[in-house]
Amino acid sequence: MIKASIIGASGYTGGELLRLLIAHPKVEIVQATSRQKLGEYLYQTHPNFRKQTTLKFSDPAELIPTDVLFLALPHGQAQHNIAKYAAVAEHIIDLSADFRLRDADLYQQWYGEPHAAPDWLDKFVYGLPELYRDELKTAKYVSGVGCNATAVNLGLLPLVNTGLLETNLPIIAELKVGSSEGGASVNSGSHHPERSQTIRTYAPYGHRHTAEVIQESGLADVTLTMTSVGLVRGALATVHGRVKDGVALKDLWKAYRLAASQNPFLRIVKERRGIYRVPEPKILAGSNYADLGFDLNPKTGHVISICAIDNLMKGASGSAVQSMNLMLGFEETLGLEFMGLHPI
Amino acid sequence: MIKASIIGASGYTGGELLRLLIAHPKVEIVQATSRQKLGEYLYQTHPNFRKQTTLKFSDPAELIPTDVLFLALPHGQAQHNIAKYAAVAEHIIDLSADFRLRDADLYQQWYGEPHAAPDWLDKFVYGLPELYRDELKTAKYVSGVGCNATAVNLGLLPLVNTGLLETNLPIIAELKVGSSEGGASVNSGSHHPERSQTIRTYAPYGHRHTAEVIQESGLADVTLTMTSVGLVRGALATVHGRVKDGVALKDLWKAYRLAASQNPFLRIVKERRGIYRVPEPKILAGSNYADLGFDLNPKTGHVISICAIDNLMKGASGSAVQSMNLMLGFEETLGLEFMGLHPI
Amino acid sequence: MIKASIIGASGYTGGELLRLLIAHPKVEIVQATSRQKLGEYLYQTHPNFRKQTTLKFSDPAELIPTDVLFLALPHGQAQHNIAKYAAVAEHIIDLSADFRLRDADLYQQWYGEPHAAPDWLDKFVYGLPELYRDELKTAKYVSGVGCNATAVNLGLLPLVNTGLLETNLPIIAELKVGSSEGGASVNSGSHHPERSQTIRTYAPYGHRHTAEVIQESGLADVTLTMTSVGLVRGALATVHGRVKDGVALKDLWKAYRLAASQNPFLRIVKERRGIYRVPEPKILAGSNYADLGFDLNPKTGHVISICAIDNLMKGASGSAVQSMNLMLGFEETLGLEFMGLHPI
Amino acid sequence: MIKASIIGASGYTGGELLRLLIAHPKVEIVQATSRQKLGEYLYQTHPNFRKQTTLKFSDPAELIPTDVLFLALPHGQAQHNIAKYAAVAEHIIDLSADFRLRDADLYQQWYGEPHAAPDWLDKFVYGLPELYRDELKTAKYVSGVGCNATAVNLGLLPLVNTGLLETNLPIIAELKVGSSEGGASVNSGSHHPERSQTIRTYAPYGHRHTAEVIQESGLADVTLTMTSVGLVRGALATVHGRVKDGVALKDLWKAYRLAASQNPFLRIVKERRGIYRVPEPKILAGSNYADLGFDLNPKTGHVISICAIDNLMKGASGSAVQSMNLMLGFEETLGLEFMGLHPI
């Protein structure tokens, strides 16, 4: 059994990591820290752990040596202590934004301050197996992924990989996201009477995850437009671009089928009948799938690529565990078999 | 035009009062106070007031003389300043729990501390027109009503008024309520990802509104069981009791029809066809109606009375404005004509 | 009192018309037809009408002469009987798509079959007062508006009217809409367990309302992308375009302020504080407002215009009643004063 | 590997069975029938099966011999063909109501018509392992359980088993349930705009599951009051009764702890801190747990027992698979390990 620890385990990303690791057949959790909930049972915060574990939140100041250390801290913290973390674990997976961007300047541009550990940036592999499967197999340090960036990157992947997209034209990615993206901390906008049933375009452009899309897709002119909608888990990216002259719908089919065949957690959803003809995040709650759809306006070459994920799974903890599996030589899908619920 | 002021206008009850008074044809708002939002436009807190009023929140320490003063403060505050308030307004309507109970001992029993102004208790009329229409016409001081107590009291009214109920047996009132009952203040339990789609029996017995039901219904053995469910506005009371021997369904019809005919905001909902055969709070959002349903198990005499309200309207601000109308000699329904939305 | 009739009154658009007209101080409803619900009380279908009206659904085959006839039939029906309808009413407002497009060829292109009454097309004024206020004042025949087209047209209005927009570049309008857009008829996709909390991009391009946007905005390359989300009432359009060189954020402020000042139901929502900083449809439920927001990426000239409406109000029945008011010489806002609810 | 077939696999209960059996390590699905969806892929109806199985719905008229046959048909059908089913499978688990009641008269009383196969009634074991663990180990025929009956029976179990309850007084069980209880068939009341955010007491008394509670609890005077609320999966029973004289809260603790210790899927939720202090069904979505809470009014002896379940799991397919595990000698919890999601 591999030993794993989670730093910052009381939030939603930490909780989802714990859920996956508690059930993982090759992993034993040795430590789950939370300064705020110190000494409390995990299940008092994450009620789904009742009868699953009697572990308590421990002190992040007293780290136990471990095989894999997951960091699920708020953005901007891990970079200040990364050397300390590396001293207690051979493998680190940091789910914050701290080590996602390889370029310290890009980091400063999008996060507004200089990076505290720029030398560490190129030691990390971006933890999206659909993009870095081979690199992850030999990685020691893995960064997590931005949930919205992931929905866009996976939506673009079949188009970018096959060169079907006009790369010099603007890409507009419209994201519709649930309330769990905001995390476990309370604020006035997350108060249920205010947040319930909202449709709120809270960031028309400039969302930080844009940087990850630019870095990973290689596209220059990308806009992420963020809209909060009425559910808890889930993100849908509807990505608008133009295909190159002569590209037809059958070329898209080929590109998406290739992507789905190469990646265990990518699926195409493009049906002519039934209720679920296109990707929908709600049926992915708890699952690690990214469901892909697409369409093409043949008159204009306008391509719309759709990607649905559970933001806490494929968009965060699921990809992290998938990366861990690759890094440690386990079956890539191990512990990620939950197929989601219907109806929900 | 009558001059009205609202003390504590930034909360949900205060906001709903403002909504009604802004549109009321006989009322001019002279002041709306909020310590927390001092100097801000009302519409920055209550976004439905945009283009309706350019009033700003003012300082509760600087009260302007007015005709009617509405107090929408947290429980326990109005009783400490009631003399001060009476000095600036001839009529007062206090929406908190401070002056609902006529008996200072009963207050202490349910609210856990002695009342700060016991001499004022009998100056107040309980602001439920269905119970105190005549008294309200000559009142100077009116208390608001507890939203849950109101759903139960109105559900029981036809049975109590006609003497059909066995009054010495236990009454169990099961309330299902929306998130706005918790008010505008944020807490961890109201965080959208936690509160969304909940079914949470948070108070199996002992809810403070029980005292108002006991006082107003005259019944001794009453339990209110509170369950939070997934909506914002609305409360449904399902009240269980036993009718006296020999009481039949037709007697209930008669009792409920009488109540509905005597009260402009009571309606019977008991249909054999259509989707809306029984009372439902969601179609009452923004309206002052209380919808009543009932059924009788003829074998056992078990009677179930159902009452649906919008907790912010009939359960708080709507009844307060209805009481104001009576107190000031206006048409009882003035400014309360909104009939609710369907679908919603 | 003006006499009004509604043909097809059992659907959601018809129900919303009825709600407005029952409360309208200058209108008396003489007839509300429904073949399916013939003989039933209106309130058995629209439960908010209980204690408001004892009218029953009547037979559409037996039309009573009236002053204004509202047609709220499924698309494709009104055009076959328009002469018959004109024989019983001097004024007609047709809320279906039948008379929205002035060009019969455009109709055929988007609706897939030739128009049955092409001679009538130019007798109708498009019923959006923000675009045709003057024409509506002398109109006899008014078409309703497409709800999604309206969100986009009003979002674009300040930009188009002031010439700030690059009109030869693609416009992408991303709409997020509630379940009431699908109407009152049941289908497998609207079944609550399936439709609840969905995020479903059901029409990436090609939505019929696109034709109305092209016609009214004068823009050639417009895409409407439709996504169903988890609420009942409400539509939000997030519209992407490019401004002309040199256009700055202050120019947008000027353009939007002009539009808001000229139109009683347009409002700007662009705040720096509070929860409601941008337009949100949920607080518009039942109101006739269209709330407008905007932002500009100064580096790229990418402009994002946001418009929130209640699809059944400003997007359908509200605009129809507003048009009626203009047509009959009433105050434009008469009967449309409801300001919406907060919280909801 | 055991061979299993599901008759009536396109509904929600059938879909949930399939989900559990696809992932079950000891079971191979040989057939899943649906007359309506014949020839379609399972994943076109149950979108969570995509990339899990390429099985298609087959014809219920052409049954393949199998080890365990699950019947997930509408009520009233299985009893007409039970001999035919027994001919193709040694073990049968019928999830309908047909074989839940052991007494044919009781069946006729609650279901309104005589039972078609009364001789089979005593061959079936009621499929609730918490009540019939030992009997299930040797059973050949197992009935499913009513979801609402299960919430009540498990809520009552600790009280009944320990003799703490006054059994001659009325028991009122108030159930709040999600929309999936209504099944996959569309009706006007399940249309999203109507069903969304409802609180609808649709059956104040007389629900058919009452019969199962009477049979299994041994209590005579039981009322189930049913209220639909705004979520898809989940049922909460709040059960009101009286304890015998002298029973104190510590006795309840003992009784509930005993039940939780004896049953792997029973848990006590009664916390003093945190958000989840009482049982809530939403965190049980997809899990087989029944969460139990309780409280006692020491003045009156009024006991409130609370039980939360996922109606499709512990209330139907989860208990069925748990029963199958016992019947076939597998680990009781096999294939039922999913712990549920938080947040959700």
Read off the pLDDT of residues B192-204 as tens digits, 9 standing for 90 and up.
999 999 999 999 9
Residue B333 lies in a domain: no
Smallest Cβ–Cβ distance between A338 and the set D49, D338, D342 belongs to D338
Give mean pLDDT, residues A10-21. 98
Residue A339 lies in a domain: no
Q: Under an 8 Å CB criterion, which residues of C touch D?
A: 12, 178-180, 182, 184, 186-188, 190-193, 195-197, 231-232
Residue C226 lies in a domain: yes
Smallest Cβ–Cβ distance between A231 and the set C199, C306, C344 belongs to C199
* Contact between chains at B191 and A188 (C-beta distance less than 8 A): no
DSSP output for B131-152:
HHHHHHHT-SEEE---HHHHHH
Number of domains in chain B: 2
pLDDT for the residue A86: 98
Residues facing C69 on adjacent strands: C5, C92
**Distance from the Cα of residue D283 to its chain's centroid:** 17
- Tell me: do B105 and B165 sit in the same domain: no
pLDDT for the residue A328: 98
pLDDT for the residue D84: 97
The C-alpha atoms of residue A144 and residue A74 are separated, in whole angstroms, by 12
Residue environment code for B98-128, b if the CB has 16+ CB neighbours within 10 A, otherwise e: bbbbeebebbeebbeeebbbeebbebbbbbb
Smallest Cβ–Cβ distance between D339 and the set A19, A342, A344 belongs to A19
pLDDT for the residue D154: 98
Q: What is the mean pLDDT of chain A?
A: 98
* Most distant pair of Cα atoms in chain B: their distance: 63
- Tell me: do A249 and A263 sit in the same domain: yes
pLDDT for the residue A66: 98
pLDDT for the residue D193: 98
Give mean pLDDT, residues A11-17. 98
**Which residues in chain C touch residue A277, judged by CB atoms under 8 angstroms apart?**
202
pLDDT band at A276 (very low <50, low <70, confident <90, very high): very high
pLDDT for the residue D71: 98
Give mean pLDDT, residues D256-267. 98
Give mean pLDDT, residues B298-322. 98
* Contact between chains at D48 and A342 (C-beta distance less than 8 A): yes
* Contact between chains at B233 and C344 (C-beta distance less than 8 A): yes
**Which residues in chain A touch residue D232, judged by CB atoms under 8 angstroms apart?**
343-344
Give mean pLDDT, residues B55-80. 97
Give mean pLDDT, residues D241-255. 98
pLDDT for the residue D85: 98
CATH of the domain at D272: 3.30.360.10
- Tell me: do B158 and B105 sit in the same domain: no
Residue C344 lies in a domain: no
pLDDT for the residue B185: 94
Which of the following is catalytic: A17, A147, A321, A324? Answer: A147
CATH of the domain at C19: 3.40.50.720
pLDDT for the residue D213: 98
- Tell me: do D307 and D270 sit in the same domain: yes
The C-alpha atoms of residue C294 and residue C249 are separated, in whole angstroms, by 9
- Tell me: do D167 and D23 sit in the same domain: no
Residue B339 lies in a domain: no
pLDDT band at C2 (very low <50, low <70, confident <90, very high): very high
- Which residue of chain D is at minimal alpha-carbon distance from A231? D344
Share of chain C above pLDDT 90, in %: 100
- Catalytic positions of B: 147
Residue D114 burial (10 A CB sphere; 0-12, 13-18, 19+): exposed
Distance from CA of C276 to the nearest CA of B (A): 7
Q: Which of A177, A179, A341 to mutate to test the interface with D (most CBs of D within 10 A)?
A: A341
pLDDT for the residue C207: 96
Residues facing C233 on adjacent strands: none
Tell me the residue range of the domain where B301 lies. Answer: 148-311
* Contact between chains at A232 and D44 (C-beta distance less than 8 A): no
pLDDT for the residue A135: 98
Share of chain D above pLDDT 70, in %: 100
- Residues B310/B318, Cβ–Cβ less than 8 Å: yes
- SS3 of chain A: the string is CEEEEEECCCCHHHHHHHHHHHCCCCEEEEEEECCCCCCCEHHHHCHHHCCCCCCECECCCCCCCEEEEEECCCCCCHHHHHHHHHHHEEEEEECCCCCCCCCHHHHHHHHCCCCCCHHHHHHEEECCHHHHHHHHHCCCEEECCCHHHHHHHHHHHHHHHCCCECCCCCEEEEEEECHHHHCCCCCHHHEHHHHCCCCEEEECCCCCHHHHHHHHHCCCCEEEEEEECCCCCCEEEEEEEEECCCCCHHHHHHHHHHHHHHCCCEEECCCCCCCCCCCCHHHHCCCCCEEEEEEEECCCCEEEEEEEECCCHHHHHHHHHHHHHHHHCCCCCCCCCCCCCCCC
Non-local (6+) Cβ contacts of A93 within 8 A are A68, A69, A70, A71, A127, A141, A142, A143, A144, A320, A323, A324, A327
Residue D317 phi, psi dihedral angles, 5° rounding: -70, -30
pLDDT band at C128 (very low <50, low <70, confident <90, very high): very high
**Which residues in chain C touch residue B271, judged by CB atoms under 8 angstroms apart?**
44
* Contact between chains at C192 and D196 (C-beta distance less than 8 A): yes
Distance from CA of B151 to the nearest CA of C (A): 19
pLDDT for the residue B29: 98
Residue B112 lies in a domain: yes
pLDDT band at D96 (very low <50, low <70, confident <90, very high): very high
* Contact between chains at B19 and C47 (C-beta distance less than 8 A): no
Q: Under an 8 Å CB criterion, which residues of A touch B?
A: 12, 178-180, 182, 184, 186-188, 190-193, 195-197, 231-232
- Tell me: do A118 and A262 sit in the same domain: no
pLDDT for the residue D123: 98
Residue B136 lies in a domain: yes
- Tell me: do C221 and C303 sit in the same domain: yes
pLDDT digits (tens, 9 = 90+) for A110-125: 999 999 999 999 999 9
Smallest Cβ–Cβ distance between D44 and the set A45, A273, A291 belongs to A273
pLDDT digits (tens, 9 = 90+) for A185-222: 999 999 999 999 999 999 999 999 999 999 999 999 99
pLDDT digits (tens, 9 = 90+) for A55-99: 999 999 999 999 999 999 999 999 999 999 999 999 999 999 999
Residue B227 lies in a domain: yes
- Tell me: do A103 and A19 sit in the same domain: yes
pLDDT for the residue B62: 96
pLDDT digits (tens, 9 = 90+) for B218-251: 999 999 999 999 999 999 999 999 999 999 999 9
- Which residue of chain D is at minimal alpha-carbon distance from A280? D47
pLDDT digits (tens, 9 = 90+) for D315-329: 999 999 999 999 999
* Contact between chains at D282 and B229 (C-beta distance less than 8 A): no
* Contact between chains at A238 and C227 (C-beta distance less than 8 A): yes
pLDDT digits (tens, 9 = 90+) for C278-325: 999 999 999 999 999 999 999 999 999 999 999 999 999 999 999 999
- Tell me: do A177 and A196 sit in the same domain: yes
Q: Under an 8 Å CB criterion, which residues of B touch C?
A: 12, 15, 19, 22-23, 40, 44-52, 180, 184, 232-233, 264, 267, 269, 271, 273-276, 280, 283, 285-287, 289, 291, 337-344
pLDDT for the residue C336: 98
Q: What is the mean pLDDT of chain D?
A: 98
Q: Which of D46, D191, D199 to mutate to test the interface with C (most CBs of C within 10 A)?
A: D191
Non-local (6+) Cβ contacts of D103 within 8 A are D121, D215
- Which residue of chain D is at minimal alpha-carbon distance from B232? D197
- Tell me: do B282 and B192 sit in the same domain: yes
- Tell me: do A139 and A155 sit in the same domain: no
- Tell me: do A175 and A35 sit in the same domain: no
